[in-house]
Structure 1
Amino acid sequence: MSSVGIGQRPQNRRQKVIKTLWSGIWLAYLSAPVNDLLHGGHSAGVRVLGALGLVAFVAWYFVLLFRTGRGESNGVVLGSLAVLATQSTVLALALGREWLVLFVYVAIASGAALPLRLARWCIPAVSALLTAVALVVPDGKEFLAGLLLPALLGGFSMTGVRELIRTTIALREARATVAQLAANEERLRLARDLHDLLGHSLSLITLKSELAGRMLPDHPDKAAQQVADIEQVSRQALVDVREAVTGYRRPRLADELAGTQVALTAAGVTAGVPVAPDLTGIPEESESALAWALREAVTNVVRHSGARRCTVELLRRQTLDGLVLELSVEDDGSGGSGDGPGNGLTGLTERLEKAGGTLEAGSLKHGFRLVARVPAGSSADIGSGA
């Protein structure tokens, strides 16, 4: 019954058919009451009443199984089980020991329809009722040994199956939630990558376009060089976007330092940028996070600050949390609009936290300073530049 859980309402016609067939298999054990009706020597009137009672019992049993999971309270389910138990008692006392098997169905229905905290009391109660009726019915003791154990085991096994199915459903829902969170994380990663990539590249293209426009009348050769640079930046931006979409984009700190020098110079900002450091032993995730931090910081300097000078420093520091690689970018500009952190700094904070790092950014008396720290892998000095 993989497609329809015990204790669950069927959701479609196929599930109804499967659950009916599965539940119907176990009705084979009603052969004893049926045989008693046919060959037990009862009068015609007793046979008719017994048949009606058996049909009513089976109908109520199926109603209980199929309506379970529709939001009924435990009181409604207990009431339905009480009706089944009453029918079993009346039929067994009236027609004989062959009808004691009905109590097994009551015990199984208890395990299938009730939560464990109630089923663990209801199943023994049904078994106790079975025992009491068997002691009253003529020759009922002979059937008691063969029915009491199936009633207990069948009832409690149904509670186990019900809990197993509920757990399986919960796991499926959790897996679907995890998949949704993974999809959301991937969309967030893509949004961060595109923001950082295109913001930097488009800013540089805009600056070089302005320079080319100013140089064109008097210095066509220099303007042509700026146009060639624009083409190169555009092509690289296209490559970077493609890599970001496929998930393989991991910027290198050395490349970003070289790009920083070019971007700041093109913007007319005096740049103090260190030479490419030796990053041996630095985790790749840490290097990538710092590279993104440098790109975002320089993009903000070029686009928003109006700075005349920008200094980049990169060094290792020993902290209480261990060895860290620290990047600082400081400018003497206005610090932007002052409307709070934008999408770039928010995404950058998330990147650094994912790599185990931190971000500090704020205005100075004359300018703005951004400091990013990530875990470092070795103790060799990297040095700094100004």
Structure 2
Amino acid sequence: MTFLNNIKDFFNLAKELKFDLVQIYAQDPNGTYAFLSVLLVIVLIIVFLIRKSIKTSLAIKLVSNIQNSSTFDEYNNKLEKLSKELPKRGLKLADTLNSQKEEILAKELILLNDFDIKEKIVKYKQISEHYALMAKNSKKYKNEELSSFYEKKSKSLLDDNLDLEIKKYYKKLTFDEKDVEYVNSIVSYANTRTNPNEILDELTNTINRYSYAFNLDLFKFVKALDKKQSGAVYFNCTQKLEEVIQSKENLISTVILSYMLENGEKEKVYSYISNLENKIYLQSLYNNYFSKVDDQELDFSFIANETKIDSDYKNYIDTKLTNNWSDTEFMNYVLEAPRVIEVIGHSDYRSILERIENLQKEEERDARVTEALDTANKAYKLATEAKELAELNYRD
């Protein structure tokens, strides 16, 4: 009441003094201060209301202007700003947004068209997060249509739209090395889902439609996969490729076999050739590789194969032995190789053994002679040194 009385007294005095502020202040400073306080509050309220009105107008304008965005990032930034403004700007903004929600979504999806799948996954997740925030921030306005729309879309954008984008993407892939990073991004996203196999099963089935035995691009793709990043796709593709390589019937193209020979997978090629049971294809590989590649192990992998083909293994072995007739280590290597004895026969086998034994005896004899000469040289050296020492003592 004191404050109101001060204000009342202030206005009575002001009338008497004809609103001369200097005299009013001189006679009633407290009333002046009270009046100025009220005036300041009124001004602040007016400023607040004007500012709020301006921000609301700008937010409403943003709803319309968001569709004029030329890039996704520009669109996304506006959407993020709008989601934060929604709970602050009143029912009018919510109603405006509700009337244009479908158009806003449609334009946003159009802006996603030019992105690759790795980028689309990131962008769709961003939109989903914004829409979830929209749903949360619009509930205060009791607009069920608006809240429900954004709540459902935040999920369906991932479960339906993004899933469809992923399927469309890998359906047109050829699966080569450059595709690995994109497949890894799909695997990473799938692993965030409640049921990753909804995506991964169909992805691996699509990959498995390609030939692991004849498609070099696919072979390189599989080799570029990483156990940690590629997950289920890595295990599927690696297993399928190993089944092909270890099979005794699958025909692996020479393009892949040559690539393996040149890129550190020789042992797998040797194993494949030595176990291949397809006679016609083994003959073809023999004609392409046997004694035509500077790879002795590769040649002996053909010899190790029991499948009968038109070959000249015996002449090959005889030539190798003739060219290395004084090399006991090499001859032992040849004799210990699978199926060599069947190819050269027991008679030649025994002859080679005898040759090895004779060479070893010669080597032992030469070693003894060398040792004896070394001993004699050492003895001669010691004797010479002793004689020189004796002569030196005699002179002293």
Q: Same fold (TM over 0.5)?
A: no
Higher relative contact order at CA 8 Å, sep ≥6: structure 1 or structure 2? 1
**Higher helix proportion (structure 1 or 2):** 2
Query: Which has the greater radius of gyration?
Result: 2
TM-score (norm 1): 0.29
